[in-house]
């Protein structure tokens, strides 16, 4: 999945982590980088915290996709 200026290129085979990475990249390019000079330290901290939470959510979503959609079990799931 790539988000480009003129159109959205969506690939149905993209996982949750790749989709989140593309979304976070677009947010950074469109909203964060152009406004870096006006962000306070608190703003930057909140953005970093939100980014971390979104990455955690995408990892959990990817794990769900792996197990329930692809049938890939974690290495130690069958003790």
- Return d(Cα 32, Cα 40) in angstroms, integer: 12
For 14, the 3-state DSSP assignment is: coil
| Alpha helices by DSSP H, the chain | 16-27, 41-64
Closest CA to 23 of 13, 10, 38: 10
User: What's the pLDDT band for 79 if we cut at 50, 70, 90?
Assistant: low
Q: Say if pTM beats, i.e. exceeds, 0.75.
A: no
What pLDDT sits at residue 10? 61
Measured between alpha carbons, how far is residue 61 from residues 7, 14, 41 in Å? 25, 12, 30
């Amino acid at each position: 999945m790539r988000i480009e200026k003129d159109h959205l290129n969506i690939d149905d085979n993209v996982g949750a982590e790749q989709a989140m990475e593309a979304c976070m990249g677009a947010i950074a390019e469109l909203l964060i980088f152009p406004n870096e000079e006006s962000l306070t330290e608190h703003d930057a901290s909140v953005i970093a915290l939100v980014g971390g939470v979104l990455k955690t959510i995408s990892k959990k979503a990817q794990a769900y996709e792996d197990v329930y959609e692809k049938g890939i079990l974690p290495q130690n799931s069958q003790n």
